[in-house]
Amino acid sequence: MANSKFEYVRSYEVNDACLPNCWIVVRLDGKSFHRFSDVHSFRKPNDERALRLMGRCAMRVMAELSDVVIAYGQSDEFSFVFHRRTAWFGRRASKLMTHTVSLFASSFVFHWLEFFGETVLRFPPTFDARVVLFPTDRCLRDYLSWRQADCHINNLYNTTFWALVQKGGLSPSQAQERLKGTMTGDKNEILFSEFGTNYNKEPEVFRKGTTLIWQKAEKKTVTQLPKTQVSRLDELGSASTYLSKSQKRHRAVVALNVDIIGEDFWQEHQEILAD
């Protein structure tokens, strides 16, 4: 229909290209996953199958949209950080966001069986998404720290709440009442003195969430990494717009459950924020 009399309507489309040189973050979040988790009998407070499925979907996204330099996820959300110089889709926010969220949602259904085998998927899950731009490395790191701190706060609350309900025999509203106004130390104390649980010994995937990064695929080092999921995605990444061909080759996505708030992680992985 090129040059038809109708084509003028194209001018109604707005230019939503992201500002140059900013880090582009797409964060998605499951819609009504409180209900979704009930309907599909998620284990409380943490269903590891669901967390691993979320991580699997995020690996898919990263492999496909390979200008993503780091992704961080917890609960029903994942954040994807596109390199500040990505040229994907002319940096159009709507394109970046919809490709990310639709691939994630279809992957969630596509991989459901691998993680939830016996549990039937009762309805199609949906995810919302937003784009946020960060002009400095500091802002980007603070953003990721904010999400990981949120993971910690929610997980400590949920772990204590469900201990009171499942082991302490309280009703959900009694447990809620009991936790009103408590600080971090109080919850740690309840867990330890009433339920013999040392919160710091809870699995790291629950306490720290999941961080995905690219790693040079010296195949040996990748598979030897302890406590990591490894996705063999060698030589994917052909779609990257800011890396040279040789840089793209032989990379693999690895999943880590580590602290990303402190300096150590960023010292160890300086390539993430590098130009």
Site for Mg ion in 79-108 (CB under 5 A): none
Q: Is 77 in the site for Mg ion (CB under 5 A)?
A: yes
Per CB under 5 A, the segment of 65-73, 76-84, 131-139, 224-232 that binds Mg ion is 76-84
- Say whether 5 counts as a known binding-site residue: no
**What, of Mg ion, ligand ATP, none, does residue 252 touch, CB below 5 to 8 Å by kind?**
none
Q: Is 42 in the site for ligand ATP (CB under 6 A)?
A: yes
Per CB under 5 A, the segment of 25-33, 47-55, 100-108, 205-213 that binds Mg ion is 25-33
Q: Residue 50: which of 102, 115, 134 has the closest Cα?
A: 115
17, 31, 167, 192: which one binds ligand ATP (CB under 6 A): 31
Q: Is 199 in the site for ligand ATP (CB under 6 A)?
A: no
Q: Is 27 in the site for ligand ATP (CB under 6 A)?
A: no
In the complex with ligand ATP, which residue's Cβ is closer, 50 or 252? 50
Could you tell me the end-to-end alpha-carbon distance of the chain, in angstroms, rounded to an integer?
A: 42
Q: Residue 128: which of 244, 240, 30, 18 has the closest Cα?
A: 30
Mark out the alpha helices in the chain (DSSP H runs).
33-39, 48-64, 93-110, 112-116, 137-166, 172-179, 184-195, 204-208, 219-224, 245-248, 263-268
Per CB under 5 A, the segment of 24-32, 102-110, 146-154, 187-195 that binds Mg ion is 24-32
* Binding-residue pattern over the window 56 to 95 for ligand ATP, x denoting contact by CB under 6 A: -------------------xx-------------------
d(CA 26, CA 68) in angstroms, rounded, equals: 10
Q: Tell me the residue type at 129.
A: A
Q: Is 150 in the site for Mg ion (CB under 5 A)?
A: no
Structure tokens of 254?
A: 């690895």
In the complex with ligand ATP, which residue's Cβ is closer, 31 or 227? 31
Q: Residue 261: which of 148, 153, 152 has the closest Cα?
A: 148
Give kind and range of the element (H or E) at residue 78.
strand 77-82
Structure tokens of 187?
A: 């919850």
How near is the Cβ of 156 to Mg ion at its closest, in Å? Answer: 16
23, 24, 27, 46: which one binds ligand ATP (CB under 6 A): 46
Q: Is 50 in the site for ligand ATP (CB under 6 A)?
A: yes
Rg (CA), the chain: 21
Torsions phi, psi for 257 (to 5 deg): -120, 75
Strand, helix or coil at 53?
helix
- As annotated, the binding site includes 29-34, 75-76
What is the binding site for ligand ATP (CB under 6 A)?
A: 29-34, 37, 42, 44, 46-47, 50-51, 75-76
